[in-house]
Amino acid sequence: MNLSMRNALALSDTPELAFSDSMERELIHKAINEERALSLTGLVKVVASSIAAACVMMYEMVKETEKAIDETDSEGGFSW
């Protein structure tokens, strides 16, 4: 607990909360595990949205290419 929190508790009528070392370690361990889960979830969301955006771009590129080939074929200027 930092100094300002101790001073605030000393000025108030409420007693200071005392955590044992094991309780403190357990709280820190839980906080780290929750942070990892949030980070992993966020990472999965970012990767999924990037893949979705890439797929949409590829689909649009294929459609534009097909359209360009069809237009060129109709003008008689392109052949396989």
For residue 16, give every residue at least 6 positions away whose Cβ sits within 8 Å of its Cβ, in sequence order, or none: 1, 6, 9, 10
Tokens standing for residue 18: 């005392």
pLDDT band at 59 (very low <50, low <70, confident <90, very high): very high
| Helix, strand, coil shares, percent, the chain, to 5 | 80, 0, 20
Q: What is the pLDDT of residues 3-57, one digit of tens each?
A: 555 555 555 554 555 667 777 888 888 877 777 767 778 888 889 999 999 999 9
Which residue would you say has higher pLDDT here, 43 or 77? 43
Its pTM surpasses 0.75: no
